[in-house]
Amino acid sequence: MNQHRINELLDLLKSDWLQDSDLNLLEFITKLSQEAGYKDDLAKLTDDVLIYHLKMRNSDSKEQIPGLKKDHEEDFKTAILKARGIIS
């Protein structure tokens, strides 16, 4: 994991973990994984799951994921033309 992602994860963890400061780190990560619906072994939990869950944790359930929001097109025809490189 590169330094940018480590810093991003630590910043996101810090702000939310302070609200649950009675939990140790492993308990807090377990809580986050359960909230995100992660059911696999905790050792296989990726930083992406934590980062996106922490980003979206306090947002409206209908809000788009930040990484997908930038590519969203309301009009299907426009999306197809952009994907084919006909318009920019």
Query: Residue 47 is which amino acid?
Result: D
Identify the pLDDT of residue 24. 95
Identify the pLDDT of residue 55. 87
Q: Which helix (H) or strand (E) holds 12?
A: helix 3-17
Identify the pLDDT of residue 67. 65
CB 47 within 8 A of CB 5: yes
pLDDT at 14 > cutoff 90: yes
pLDDT at 2 > cutoff 80: yes
CB 53 within 8 A of CB 36: yes
Q: 30 phi and psi, to 5 degrees?
A: -60, -45
For the stretch 25-80, pLDDT in tens is: 999 999 999 999 999 999 999 998 999 899 888 777 677 666 666 666 778 888 88
Spans of all domains in the chain: 3-83
What is the CATH code for 3-83? 1.10.1580
More confident residue, 13 or 58: 13
Say what the pTM is: 0.66
CB 8 within 8 A of CB 52: no
Identify the pLDDT of residue 70. 66
CA distance 81 to 87: 6
